[in-house]
Amino acid sequence: MRLVTWNTAVGDGDVLRLIADLQRDDADRPLILLLQEVYRECPDVPMSLAHGAAFAGHLGKGDAAHEGDDIETIAARSGLNAYYVPSMRNGSPAQSREDRGNAILSNLPLESLGAIELPFERQRRVAVAATAAGRSADGSPWQLRLVSAHLDNMVGPRRLWFAGGGFARARQARALVDYVQDDELAIVGGDFNTWFGFAEPAFGETARAFTQTDISDPRPTFHHLLRLDHLFVRVPDRWHVDIARGESRYGSDHWPLIATIQLR
């Protein structure tokens, strides 16, 4: 199995090229992508605000450059199953007719779909969850719970912006751990915005609940500086998991993390 977590930078990342590279050797091999900052252009995106509310800022390229790479188009062109849940609008109505959030793509059926509203800190964050199932090479069945998440990068001025961000992300990470605590097999991937890398409580608390988490490749995943992205793995000991940073950013400001999993 190939399993990827990647922040696609709201249309900047070339998801289709990544998929083509991953499927070049074996298109039938199970493939799962846990994606963050994907967007959807849709007439159903809200055009007005309740009193006292605010739109999130616009991220990614302009609408003209976005044409053709929203999450629904990517799913249709790749032929993969897709589950997407928006977290917020992508800019004001004057800027776009888009929302953005997290998604799971896979050539396996996605079942038992879920949306996890994380503790509110600075922006609304909704992680997505699904279950994929299959059979290993010896014919034994397996079922894997999948979560794609994106945590807040900072908090408001009352909590000192970046200084309080670590505590906020720890709360959001605990919500993810609680959500999958009863799942024997689970993988959580995402942009955890861990400004202090593996030393952040959000990483430590999550890794303790996912005993096969591999950090053999500790390279930064954001601008050669920070390790913001992580894959947390809880699978049988007989499965072999190798996690490495991709060698290309495919246009995003984040590198993908790519796990190769041998189901023995």
CATH assignment of the domain containing 158: 3.60.10.10
Counting Cβ atoms within 10 Å, is residue 44 exposed (0-12), middle (13-18) or buried (19+)? Answer: exposed
Question: pLDDT at position 2, please?
Answer: 97
Q: Can you give the residue range of the structural domain that contains 206?
A: 2-262
pLDDT at site 64 = 41
- Which residue ranges of the chain lie beneath pLDDT 50? 63-66, 160
- Exposure pattern of 117-145 as b/e (b: 16+ CB <10 Å)? ebeebbbebbbbbbbbeeeeeeeeebebb
The total number of structural domains in the chain stands at 1
Nearest by Cα to 209 from 233, 230, 193: 233
Share of the chain above pLDDT 90, in %: 75
Position 110 scores a pLDDT of: 98
Torsion of CA 100, 106, 108, 110, to 10 degrees: -10
pLDDT of residue 205: 94
**Partners of 115 in beta bridges:** 128
Structure-block tokens of residue 246: 């991709």
What pLDDT is recorded for position 27? Answer: 86
Q: What is the reported pLDDT for 63?
A: 47
Coil, strand or helix at 128:
strand
Residue 65: per-residue pLDDT: 47
